Structure 1
Amino acid sequence: MSHKGKIQLTLFFVAPPDQVAEGDRLFRSHGPWMEATHHREGDKALLSYNVSKAPELSNSMDPNSAPTGNTCFILSEIYETGAGVADHFQMAESSWQDFPALVKWMEKCTVTGLPAAPIINSLW
C-alpha cells in the first residue's frame, strides 16, 4: 500500500551504551500504549508503526564499518493526516505513563527527526 501524501513522524535516537536499557524499556512500553490508544480509521488513523534498533556505525554508508559503541533507535509512524500527529502528541503527554521518562532519556541521547513530514514517494 502506498503512503504517498500521508504524514510521517520519524525520530532517530543515538543512545550511549549506558542508555540502551532505558531505550529498550521505553519502547517496550510505547508499543502497547500506541496499540491501545491510536485511531485505526479516519483522519487521525495510525497507518504504520515501526521501531528499529541497531548499532551505530562509524560510516553510516558502509554496513561493514566498525560500530561506535552507541545504539540507534529509529521510530517511524505514518498517519492519515497531520491531525493524527497532533492527536498523538496530545495523547502522549496526557496518557502515556512513560512520556516524562522519554523526555528525560532524550536529553541523554542525540535526537534528530521530524514530527510531521508529508511523504513524497512511496511504493506498495
Structure 2
Amino acid sequence: MSIKRGNLGFHVSFVVPNEATERMDQFITTHEQFMRETHHLSGDQEPIILSYSVFKSPELNNPFDPNSGETGNTLYGLTEIYNGPEGVQAHMTLGQQREAMFAELVDLTNTYSVAGILGAPVIAAME
C-alpha cells in the first residue's frame, strides 16, 4: 500500500546522551519485534502499517557540517504511518497491552523526547 494525504502517523524525536543509547537500542529492538508480531503489511485486519522506520544518528554541533564534531548525544526518530484512525487505535490498544514495553516508551519519551507528532494526518506524500 502506498502512503497518501490523509493517512495518519506518529513521529517521535529523541535526543539521548551517548551513555544511554544501549537502553534506547534495547527498546527499539523490543518495539520492532512487537510491530512484526502484531501489525500487518496488507489485508483487512488492523493495524495495517504502511510505513515503520527508526532513524539513528550522532547529533552534530552543526547538522549541515559533518566536520563540526559531535555533541555527545545520539538522535533517534521513530515514524509509523497507518491508513486511518482504526489502525492508530488498534496500534495503541495492542501497545498498551504490553505493559512493560509501554511503560518503557513513556519513560523514554518523558526523559529524552524533544518532539512528538501523534496521530497526525499526512499532509504531503509522493502519491
Does the pair score TM above 0.5?
A: yes
Alignment RMSD (CA, Å): 1.9
Matched, 1:71 2:67: no
- Whether the aligned pair in 2 keeps the contact of 1:85 and 1:115 (CA below 8 Å) is no
Percent identical among aligned pairs is 32
Tell me the amino acid that sits aligned with residue 12 of structure 2. Answer: L
Which sits farther off after the overlay, 103-112 or 45-54?
103-112
Matched, 1:115 2:118: yes
Match of 1:101 in 2: 104
Q: So what's the TM-score if we normalise by structure 1?
A: 0.86
Give secondary structure in 1 for the equivalent of 2:33.
helix
- 1:45-104 deviations in Å (ceiling 9; x for gaps): 2111111100112233x1423221111110010100022112212211112642212222
Distance across 1 between alignment mates of 2:3 and 2:113: 31
**Superposition pairs of residues 79-90 of structure 1, within 5 angstroms:** 79-90=82-93
Structure 2 unmatched ranges of 5 or more? none
Structure 1 unmatched ranges of 5 or more? none
- Whether the aligned pair in 2 keeps the contact of 1:19 and 1:105 (CA below 8 Å) is no
Distance across 2 between alignment mates of 1:16 and 1:39: 33
- 1:16-66 deviations in Å (ceiling 9; x for gaps): 122211000000111111011124333642111111100112233x14232
Q: CA deviation at 1:108?
A: 2.5
Q: How many residues align?
A: 123
Tell me the amino acid that sits aligned with residue 10 of structure 2. Answer: L
- Whether the aligned pair in 2 keeps the contact of 1:11 and 1:114 (CA below 8 Å) is yes
Shift in alpha-carbon separation, 1:123–1:102, aligned structure 2, 3 A = same
Matched, 1:52 2:49: no
Q: So what's the TM-score if we normalise by structure 2?
A: 0.84
Tell me the amino acid that sits aligned with residue 35 of structure 1. Answer: R
